[in-house]
Structure 1
Amino acid sequence: MTEFHQDGRAGIDAELVRRLIADQFPQWADLPVTPVKVDGWDNRTYRLGSDLTARLPTHASYVAAVDKEHRWLPVLAPHLPLEIPEAVAKGAPGEGYPHPWAIRRWIAGRTATVDSVEDLDEFARTIAGFILALQSVDASDGPVAGTHSFFRGASLTTYHDETVEALAVLKDRIDAERAQDVWDAALAASWDRPPVWFHGDIASGNLLVRDGRLAAVIDFGTSGVGDPACDLVIAYTFFSGSSRSTFRDAVQQDDAMWARARGWALWKALITEDVQVIETVLEDR
């Protein structure tokens, strides 16, 4: 039997999925199991026939998303203007695999890229509308930002030490003084309102396009309720020029929210040494 490690993806393959399905969901045992073309890091995903997927967390730190998404995706879906994953079933540890896992409905579409989107300004307005609709969903009983969301939706102070260390590493490659000012402004612009729903990873890899238009938002593993500033990071990582301005206008957030959004974008770009995004963040006024 395969030995699984807490810090890697080794051992998760189509054969494992076939065994798990045969043991726990025999009604689907005859369906073909194939890897998806574009996979993520937090989960390994496999097509199960033509209508379903099996998603297996690659590490214990991603396991909380299984129950969270199974509980909340059906609550969120009726309120949102775009398709989101549909929770079908939950699998249990088995066949040597140590984590719970999920079966979802397959969503057709291409991963969003600048080339796959027909009209970036329309795309920006559509994403903004999705974010606003998500924020309007009743958050009173939702999962409060914390470890399960990797502190998306919580205070940026969680990542202060990491940011300071990354600034020191990159000080000769970027305008470190300007970056420090942006980070300080983000920390000073604290969230002081009731929590709202956030997705936590509004990024091109989690946006699906059909016929050149945004059709679905996937992967709610870092979702929760709290400060939604993290959902604005796409302004710096995907949009530019008129589409960035369109997104800013359509999403209707205040200056303090944008200060924190810049902080989120800066933190991630610093720790991944993405100088291009860092420069984009620093140019924003």
Structure 2
Amino acid sequence: MPLMPAADIDVTEQLGRRLLTQQFPDLAGLPLRLAANGWDNAIFRLGSNLAVRLPRREAAAHLIEHEQRWLPQLTRGLAVPSPTPVRCGTPSAVFPWPWSVTPWIQGTTAAAQRLSARRAWAAELARFVDRFQQPAPADAPANPVRGVPLRRRNEQVRRRRPTSSRGAGRWQR
């Protein structure tokens, strides 16, 4: 797995609490704790049924903007829960980028399950992907990284590939 890039901003529980207090004071009294700190976002559990999604890097902030705009439209009518924002935080003096409050979706990541256990839900996942697959709306933004010809990603992939076959799983920066 590639090394996670450094955060542009240290996203902490204190920062999350401050943003909630400023922008959504009705939610600020709920318990807040870090649930995951990923490549692009920090996810905090908010109360028992919400999550706070804060970008760690400027590149991810633009993806949050797209999620806030497009997920409600793209997930409408799907039979599975999605992290569609229920509140959209805005840039402020405290935090320069958009952020979201989403439903908390209880579950286990696929990577945490044995391969044999994944078969139980593979068909359901395939049905979801089939229903979700649709042409992009005419005014949807283009992603400069995803959905492009592979030759445009060649240099970045080669730079991050494992240094040797014995080093599979250890990627270069």
Which TM class, normalised by the smaller chain length? 0.7 to 0.9
TM-score by length of 2: 0.78
Q: Which residue of 1 aligns with 2:15?
A: 16
Aligned residues: 166
Deviations 1:123-152 (A, max 9, x none): 2222222222222x34233635423xxx21
One of 266, 272, 285 as aligned partner of 2:171: 272
Once the two structures are TM-superposed, the CA of residue 62 in structure 1 deviates from its matched residue by 0.6
Assess, with a 3 A threshold, how the Cα gap between structure 1 residues 164 and 16 changes in structure 2: closer, same or farther.
Answer: closer
Q: Which residue of 2 aligns with 1:161?
A: 155
* 1:231-250 equivalent positions in 2, closer than 5 A: none
Contact 1:81–1:133 (CA under 8 A) maintained in structure 2: no
What fraction of aligned residue pairs are identical, expressed as a percent? 31
* 1:136-285 equivalent positions in 2, closer than 5 A: 137-141=134-138, 143-147=140-144, 151-164=145-158, 170=163, 173=165, 272=171
Q: Which residue of 2 aligns with 1:114?
A: 113
Q: Which residue of 2 aligns with 1:211?
A: none
State the alpha-carbon separation in 2 of the partners of residues 116 and 19 from structure 1.
Answer: 41
**Residue ranges of structure 2 left out of the alignment (5+ in a row):** 1-5
Contact 1:14–1:46 (CA under 8 A) maintained in structure 2: yes
- Secondary structure of the residue that 1:87 maps to in structure 2? coil
* 1:60-71 equivalent positions in 2, closer than 5 A: 60-71=58-69
Contact 2:86–2:102 (CA under 8 A) maintained in structure 1: yes
Contact 1:34–1:48 (CA under 8 A) maintained in structure 2: yes
Q: Which residue of 2 aligns with 1:100?
A: 98
Once the two structures are TM-superposed, the CA of residue 41 in structure 1 deviates from its matched residue by 1.9
What RMSD over aligned residues (CA atoms) do the two structures have, in Å? Answer: 3.0
**Which structure shows the higher helix fraction?**
1
- Secondary structure of the residue that 2:76 maps to in structure 1? helix
Assess, with a 3 A threshold, how the Cα gap between structure 1 residues 140 and 115 changes in structure 2: closer, same or farther.
Answer: same
Amino acid at match of 1:146: N
- Secondary structure of the residue that 1:69 maps to in structure 2? helix
Once the two structures are TM-superposed, the CA of residue 166 in structure 1 deviates from its matched residue by 6.0
State the alpha-carbon separation in 2 of the partners of residues 122 and 31 from structure 1.
Answer: 35
State the alpha-carbon separation in 2 of the partners of residues 19 and 164 from structure 1.
Answer: 41
* 1:30-69 equivalent positions in 2, closer than 5 A: 30-36=29-35, 38-69=36-67
Contact 1:52–1:104 (CA under 8 A) maintained in structure 2: yes
State the alpha-carbon separation in 1 of the partners of residues 85 and 37 from structure 2.
Answer: 18
Assess, with a 3 A threshold, how the Cα gap between structure 1 residues 158 and 89 changes in structure 2: closer, same or farther.
Answer: same
Contact 1:48–1:54 (CA under 8 A) maintained in structure 2: yes
Assess, with a 3 A threshold, how the Cα gap between structure 1 residues 79 and 114 changes in structure 2: closer, same or farther.
Answer: same
Contact 1:80–1:133 (CA under 8 A) maintained in structure 2: yes
Contact 2:8–2:58 (CA under 8 A) maintained in structure 1: no
TM-score by length of 1: 0.50
